[in-house]
Amino acid sequence: MREEKIGVLCSGRGSNLASIIAAVERGDIRAEIAVVIADKADAYALERAREKGIPAVAVVYRDYAARADFEDALRAELSTHGVTLIVLAGFMRILTPAFVHAYAGHILNIHPALLPSFPGAHAHRDALSYGVKVSGCTVHFVDEGTDSGPIIMQAAVPVHDDDTEETLAARVLAEEHRIFPEAIRLYVDGRLQMDGRQVRILPCQ
């Protein structure tokens, strides 16, 4: 089994990054976080990485004339650090099909809704507006669409009558911190088998 090297892409605070780092430190995820990349120079995720001695790089979107140039810079950093698995942890940029194809089957994302319901950037607002009684989060492989890749794992939370976007987000985030490291662990351990849209979790060997 090869040793996986994880590249985490972030845009903000990096709370999911923190849960992944903790899982690596506990030995739950038997892999190295090789680099953390943020598309904003002031993303707190970079500070979280530096505090743990993890290489942290800002590849700032607005510094590039075209999205292809931005993605070329991302790919260069990922290659430099030998990344074999890309984890999108609150990364707020849509990746082009060319980028996705280059890492097909090796990009994981977490989305704060029970996909295929409420894809996109405003999942909590959309869930509350629709009046659902249950929401949650989804870990999935990334494909060329928006939050449309094969589903690996989901967790559900109740939606309360008095919920705001903030209260619902906090409840969902707690589940994100639980299932995202677990899904990464399954990938690293070679226990995810993809057959079309179906992702099967294989038993332990």
Q: What is the pLDDT along the chain (205 residues), one digit of tens a residue?
A: 568 999 999 999 999 999 999 999 999 999 999 999 999 999 999 999 999 999 999 999 999 999 999 999 999 999 999 999 999 999 999 999 999 999 999 999 999 999 999 999 999 999 999 999 999 999 999 999 999 999 999 999 999 999 999 999 999 999 999 999 999 999 999 999 999 999 999 998 7
CATH number of the domain to which 74 belongs: 3.40.50.170
Q: How far apart are CA 99 and CA 38, in angstroms?
A: 16
Q: pTM for the whole thing?
A: 0.96
Output the CA–CA distances (angstroms, integers) from residue 161 to 131, 133, 136, 158, 191, in the order listed.
9, 8, 16, 10, 38
Helix 165-188 × helix 15-26 angle, to 10°:
40
Q: How far apart are CA 73 and CA 66, in angstroms?
A: 11
Domain range spanning residue 159?
A: 5-201
Catalytic residue among 111, 124, 140, 177: 111
Show the tokens assigned to 16: 């999911």
> What pLDDT sits at residue 128?
98
> What pLDDT sits at residue 43?
97
Helix 44-51 × helix 15-26 angle, to 10°:
20
> What pLDDT sits at residue 77?
98
Number of compact structural domains in the chain: 1
> What one-character DSSP code corresponds to residue 170?
H
177 labelled catalytic: no
